[in-house]
Amino acid sequence: MTTNNQTSIASLAKKRRTYSAEFKQQIVQACKAP
């Protein structure tokens, strides 16, 4: 797991302003990723 991956997703979400369930699911999967 890399925190850089989470940062990329977060920054992308901020640009698109899409704090949807899909965005949350990506964060959860990123946290669970080995």
The parent domain of residue 25 ranges over 3-32
d(Cα 12, Cα 19) in Å, to the nearest integer? 10
User: For residue 18, what pLDDT is reported?
Assistant: 54
User: For residue 26, what pLDDT is reported?
Assistant: 82
Per-residue pLDDT tens over the stretch 1-34: 566 777 777 776 666 655 677 778 888 888 887 6
What does each C-alpha distance from 27 to 14, 16, 17, 34 come to in angstroms?
A: 13, 15, 15, 13
d(Cα 20, Cα 23) in Å, to the nearest integer? 5
Are 6 and 33 a contacting pair, CB within 8 Å?
no
pTM: 0.36
User: For residue 7, what pLDDT is reported?
Assistant: 75
- Give the number of C-alpha atoms closer than 13 A to the C-alpha of residue 27, restricted to the C-beta side: 12
Structural domain total, the chain: 1
User: For residue 14, what pLDDT is reported?
Assistant: 67
